[in-house]
């Protein structure tokens, strides 16, 4: 299998031997094999893990497991917690689409900030089959029929040539351990329904279904390249990008063949669905000012152009507090940090002030909204308490609960912001340095 993957990487020019790779690792069997393959092929890589806040304690255990995996391979570890449900509700998209949007946005952010060349995901040939069938079922254009591309910008899929059976073979031979996501077995999700109920029937007709689908995807990719050439020509004539804004000029598109398809392809990097593009086409002759939305961008129809701006997704992830920071903005709040020697510090006990033992903190700290399954040890107690129960006991109004922030050191909550400090991080007579953090609302 290693030879097969190595050959696939070379033939599709996915990366170079000296490339730095950020591996997306959930802890499941596929991503565990991805790590082992990158390790055995001697690539320089790091591990990035997402906690989507959807499976409470199970997700927390996944995060701990993947962090230990990074120690095993002696590679850097990056993690992020997302308020996926809130994002899905706001954007009126499925939980799966919300998770996909948030994780790829974060992967790219980490890749750029930490200096990695590519983000590697653990998609394999069975995923290609599932993706094509799912797209066909829900309706798709030519791009939806090529399945999962081996390379898409900075995203690479080194395992795309191997089957699930080959992945199991490697796990067995290397005696790898993985975490099983319980949601993979339920048919509540569309992809799982296709995996468990549709594909077995199709394989009765064609036992080589995965191989056939892969060949079909490659043929479609060649046809797509012809269309792409036409689209890129129009893109060069019509798209002008600036800082945090893009302008799509409408004049060069007036005589375009198949305008809805053309617009959909031009707007694909901004994640606009085909149904939204059809609404946009209907509105092109109307009054300027009408807005259209994707999960990541807002589009405004101007007189002779479309104006596209990105949405701020940071409130659904976390904000980092680096050691040495003195002020950090988080939404409507301003956090001020002071670093004081313990013998010079006078303790201030107010809800909006946290006095933390610097020796117990692991920077960078994270600020994020609390999630189901989060727990801490309230100041003055020895036992842990779920944040949800704590907020109920504090009689925090329901519409304010979702806005409650927590300060996280490594995987431990150090402060329920504005509410209670964690007992493990309090200042004691052994404390040498105090980090005092004050929160206040930003002036209007």
Same domain, 214 and 342: no
Mean of the per-residue pLDDT values for the chain?
Answer: 90
Same domain, 347 and 286: no
CA dist., res. 218 & res. 147, Å (int): 9
pLDDT > 80? residue 315: no
Q: Give the pLDDT score at 8.
A: 94
User: pLDDT higher for 252 or 398?
Assistant: 252
3-state SS class at 426: coil
Same domain, 157 and 103: yes
CATH number at residue 261: 3.30.465
3-state SS class at 69: helix
By residue range, what is the domain housing residue 25? 1-223
pLDDT > 70? residue 119: yes
Same domain, 304 and 329: no
Q: Is 26 annotated as a binding residue?
A: yes
Q: What is the 3-state secondary structure (H, E, C) of 197-242?
A: HHHHHHHHHCCCHHHHHHHHHHHHHHHHHHHHHHHHHHHHHHEEEE
Count Cα neighbours of 194 within 13 Å in the Cβ-side half-sphere.
Answer: 15
Q: Is 393 annotated as a binding residue?
A: no
Same domain, 14 and 104: yes
- From residue 240, alpha-carbon distances to 243, 294, 303 in Å are 10, 19, 16
252 within domain boundaries: yes
What are the tens digits of pLDDT across the range 21-64? 999 999 999 999 999 999 999 999 999 999 998 887 888 899 99
pLDDT > 60? residue 204: yes
**Closest alpha carbon to 441 in 368, 338, 332:** 332
Q: Give the pLDDT score at 71.
A: 96
Same domain, 33 and 168: yes
130 within domain boundaries: yes
Burial of 265 (0-12, 13-18, 19+ CB in 10 A): buried
Same domain, 281 and 387: no
pLDDT > 90? residue 243: no
344 within domain boundaries: yes
Q: Give the pLDDT score at 224.
A: 84
Q: Give the pLDDT score at 444.
A: 57
CA dist., res. 166 & res. 174, Å (int): 12
Tell which of 283, 310, 337 closes a domain: 310
CATH number at residue 75: 3.40.50.620
Same domain, 259 and 379: no
Tell which of 191, 223, 255 closes a domain: 223
Q: Which residues on adjacent β-strands are paired with residue 156?
A: 120, 151
Same domain, 332 and 298: no
Tokens 């593009």 -> residue: 277
Q: Is 127 annotated as a binding residue?
A: no
Tell which of 193, 223, 253 closes a domain: 223
Q: Strands across the sheet with 77-81, in order?
A: 77-81, 44-51, 20-24, 118-120, 155-156, 151-152
C-beta atoms surrounding 313 within 10 Å: 17
User: pLDDT higher for 227 or 204?
Assistant: 204
Same domain, 20 and 59: yes
What are the tens digits of pLDDT across the range 271-312? 999 899 999 999 998 888 899 999 889 999 998 999 999 887
Which are the contacts of 281, defined by CB distance < 8 A and separation ≥ 6?
259, 260, 263
Q: Give the pLDDT score at 145.
A: 80
Q: Give the pLDDT score at 411.
A: 87
Same domain, 85 and 202: yes
Q: Is 31 annotated as a binding residue?
A: yes
233 within domain boundaries: no
Tokens 């033939």 -> residue: 11
Q: Give the pLDDT score at 219.
A: 87
58 within domain boundaries: yes
Q: Is 359 annotated as a binding residue?
A: no
* pTM score, whole prediction: 0.66
The total number of structural domains in the chain stands at 3
pLDDT > 90? residue 252: yes
CATH number at residue 393: 3.50.40.10
Burial of 438 (0-12, 13-18, 19+ CB in 10 A): middle
Q: What is the 3-state secondary structure (H, E, C) of 110-121?
A: HHHHHCCCEEEC
Q: Give the pLDDT score at 320.
A: 87
- Contact by Cβ (8 Å): 336, 442: no
Q: Give the pLDDT score at 319.
A: 87
Q: Give the pLDDT score at 317.
A: 79
Q: Give the pLDDT score at 92.
A: 86
- From residue 305, alpha-carbon distances to 84, 239, 269, 334 in Å are 33, 10, 17, 37
398 within domain boundaries: yes
Same domain, 361 and 383: yes
Tokens 């100041």 -> residue: 379
264 within domain boundaries: yes
Helix (H), strand (E) at residue 192: helix 190-193
Q: Give the pLDDT score at 215.
A: 86
Q: What is the percent of the chain where pLDDT is above 90? A: 61
* pLDDT (mean) for 261-278: 92
229 within domain boundaries: no
């Amino acid at each position: 299998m290693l030879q097969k993957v190595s050959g696939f990487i070379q033939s599709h020019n996915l990366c170079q031997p000296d490339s730095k790779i950020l591996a997306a690792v959930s802890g499941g069997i596929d991503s565990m094999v991805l790590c082992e393959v990158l390790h055995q092929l001697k690539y320089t890589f790091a591990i990035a893990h997402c906690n989507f806040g959807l499976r409470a304690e199970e997700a927390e255990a996944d995060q701990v497991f993947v962090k230990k995996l990074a120690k095993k391979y002696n590679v850097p570890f990056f993690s992020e917690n997302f308020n996926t449900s809130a994002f899905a509700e706001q954007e009126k998209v499925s939980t799966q689409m919300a998770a996909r949007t948030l994780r790829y946005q974060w992967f790219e952010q980490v890749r750029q900030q930490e200096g990695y060349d590519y983000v590697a995901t653990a998609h394999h040939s069975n995923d290609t089959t599932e993706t094509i069938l799912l797209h066909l079922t829900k309706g798709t254009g030519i791009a939806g029929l090529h399945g999962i591309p081996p390379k898409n910008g900075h995203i690479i899929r080194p395992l795309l040539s191997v089957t699930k059976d080959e992945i199991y073979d490697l796990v067995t031979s290397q005696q790898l351990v993985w975490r099983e996501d319980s949601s993979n077995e339920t048919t509540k999700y569309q992809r799982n329904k296709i995996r468990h109920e549709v594909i077995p029937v199709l394989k009765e007709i064609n036992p080589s279904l995965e191989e056939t689908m892969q060949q079909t995807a490659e043929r479609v990719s060649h046809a797509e390249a012809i269309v792409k050439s036409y689209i890129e020509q129009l893109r060069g004539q019509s798209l002008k990008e600036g800082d945090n804004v893009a302008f799509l000029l409408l004049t060069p598109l007036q005589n375009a063949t198949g305008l809805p398809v053309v617009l959909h392809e031009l707007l694909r990097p901004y994640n606009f669905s085909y149904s939204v593009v059809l609404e946009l086409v209907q509105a092109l002759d109307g009054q300027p000012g009408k807005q259209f939305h994707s999960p990541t961008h807002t589009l405004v129809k101007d007189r002779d152009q479309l104006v596209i701006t990105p949405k701020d997704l940071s409130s659904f992830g976390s904000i980092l507090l680096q050691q040495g920071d003195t002020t950090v903005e988080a939404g409507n709040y301003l956090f001020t940090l002071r670093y004081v020697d313990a013998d010079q510090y006078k303790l201030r006990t107010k809800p909006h002030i946290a006095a933390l033992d610097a020796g117990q903190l692991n920077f960078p700290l994270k600020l994020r909204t609390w999630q189901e399954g989060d727990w801490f040890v309230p100041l003055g107690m020895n036992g842990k308490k779920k944040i949800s129960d704590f907020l109920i006991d504090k009689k925090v109004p329901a519409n304010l609960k979702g806005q409650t922030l927590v300060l996280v050191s490594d995987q431990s909550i150090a402060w329920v912001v504005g509410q209670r400090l964690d007992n493990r991080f309090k200042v004691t007579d052994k404390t040498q340095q105090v980090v005092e953090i004050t929160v206040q609302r930003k002036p209007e």
